[in-house]
Amino acid sequence: MRVRELAEYLGAAYEGDGERMVEAASPVETAGVTHVSFIGNRKAAREAESSAAGCLIVPLDFPNPAGRTLIRVNEPRLAFARAVGRLHPAPAATPGIHPSAVIDADAVIGPGVSAGPMTVVAAGARIGGGTSIGAGCYIGRRVTVGESCTLHAGVTLYDDVDVGSRVVLHSGSVIGADGFGFVLEGGRYHKFPQVGRVWIGDDVEIGANSCVDRAALGVTWIGEGAKLDNMVHVAHNCRIGRHVVVAAQTGFSGGVVVEDYAVIGGQVGIGDKARIESRAVLGSGCGVLTSKIIRSGQVVWGTPARPLKEYLETLANLSRLPGMRKELAEIKRRLARLEGDAV
């Protein structure tokens, strides 16, 4: 692809050699003359001086005293992501059902669907057109999968799960398993039947080995455009809003509500029925107590989660404790000497 063609695809202006060919996308520090890279921070800007990249995607105000070939955009990282998708397209699945797949006669399979080896599609399931189903997937009874979805190998959809269109489910993800509901009586735990559903909106992506449990009653809900990293657990009756981003190894207890555009770091633990309001940010490793409310736009850290400024002040005070301990010991010694002199 020529630089001018890439710029046209990105809807951006270029300067320099528009006929230069770009064949791949690479980090700025390792890019070669046929590669495109991007400048997203000060470190990359410094490395750009010695980079051999044939084309750089840069901010609008990026200086160019050396007359390099550039594509200027408002958001270099976003533009580079689009460039990567254009230069390195994912291999398209070939429509068709593998001979070893087991498709119930009562299932409805849309046009252009591909189903890999050992796939099972149960009775009453509906698969939208253009969806790709990897090897060894299980799609349960009365499951609905929308159009142009990608189910990587080994995905499990339990019964009564609704998946929107253009959803990506990575290997090992399990959607619709029973929620963790038990009642203690007579010294024994009795299972609370989990008879609800899971609903997943359009353009959601769920990472490898993540689990979204069905509701005990009602619906566990994952909103449009939400992105869940690997090994995320969403318990029964949670409601995850639109365009929420969740990093790896985070766990949501039952009944948690996360509003739209919240950002949640890795290894966060959220207690039952907590509420995370819109555009709140939860730092990695923090813990949110049961029924706690994190207010809209608030940035919190630590366990229990508290405002970032307060958390940093606490850390600063903790770092002073060793010195304060020495000072206290010295004060005690002086006091002891004074008391001895007084006697």
Q: Work out whether strand 188-191 and strand 182-185 pair parallel, antiparallel, or are unpaired.
A: antiparallel
Residues 159 and 327: their CA atoms lie apart, in Å, by 65
| Residue in 14, 27, 8 with CA at minimum distance from that of residue 70 | 14
Q: Which two tokens stand for residue 114?
A: 């591909």
- Residues 290-320 as b or e (16 or more Cβ within 10 Å = b): eebebeeebbbbbeebbebeebeeeeeeeee
Q: What is the pTM of this model?
A: 0.86
| Residue in 63, 64, 52 with CA at minimum distance from that of residue 16 | 64
| Residue in 291, 292, 309 with CA at minimum distance from that of residue 300 | 309
Q: Are 182 and 204 in contact (CB under 8 A)?
A: no
Q: Are 56 and 118 in contact (CB under 8 A)?
A: no
Q: Are 212 and 180 in contact (CB under 8 A)?
A: no
Phi, psi dihedrals of residue 158, rounded to the nearest 5°: -65, 175
| Residue in 149, 242, 160 with CA at minimum distance from that of residue 201 | 242
Residues 14 and 8: their CA atoms lie apart, in Å, by 9
The dihedral built from the CA positions of residue 76, 77, 78 and 81, taken in this order, carries a sign that is positive
| Residues catalogued as catalytic | 236
Q: Which two tokens stand for residue 93?
A: 């699945």
Grouping H, G, I as helix, E, B as strand and the rest as coil, residue 300 is: strand
Low-confidence ranges of the chain (pLDDT < 50): none
Angle CA(41)–CA(228)–CA(111) in degrees, nearest 5?
A: 110
